[in-house]
Amino acid sequence: MVETFITGSAFVTGTIVLVWVGYFAMRAIAAEHMVHDTKELAGSVIFRVSALHGLILALVFAQQMGEYRSLEEETVREASAIADIYFDIARHGSETDAKLIRPALSRYVDIVVESEWPSLGDSGSLSPAAWKEWETTYHAILDLDASTPRKAALRDHMLEDIGTIAETRNQRESHGLKSVSVMFWFAAISGVFLISLAYYCFTPTKHNVILISIFAAFTGIVMFFIYSFSNPFSPPGALQPSAFAKLQASDSFK
211 within some domain: no
Q: CA quadruple 215, 216, 219, 224: dihedral positive or negative?
A: negative
What per-residue string of b and e applies to 74-109 under the rule 16 or more CB within 10 Å gives b?
A: bbebbbebbbbbbebbeebebeebbebbbebbbbbb
Answer yes or no: is pLDDT of 133 > 70.
yes
User: Does 11 fall in a domain?
Assistant: yes
Compute how many other C-beta atoms are within 10 angstroms of the C-beta atom of residue 41.
Answer: 13
Q: Would you say residue 214 lies in a domain?
A: no
Average pLDDT score, the chain:
90
Asked if residue 40 belongs to a domain, the reply is: yes
Look at residue 35 and tell me whether its pLDDT is greater than 70.
Answer: yes
Instruction: Specify if 215 maps to a domain.
Output: no
160 confidence band (pLDDT: 50, 70, 90):
very high
Q: Over 80: is that where the pLDDT of 33 sits? A: no
- Residue 239 lies inside a defined structural domain of this protein: yes
212 assigned to some structural domain:
no
Judge whether residue 31 has pLDDT over 80: no
Average pLDDT over residues 50-75: 92
Contact between 246 and 77 (Cβ < 8 Å): no
**Domain assignment of residue 17, yes or no:** yes
Residue 254's pLDDT is what?
Answer: 67
Quick check: 32 pLDDT over 90?
Answer: no
Number of domains into which the chain is organized: 1
Range of the domain at 243: 2-205+220-249
pTM, two decimal places = 0.84
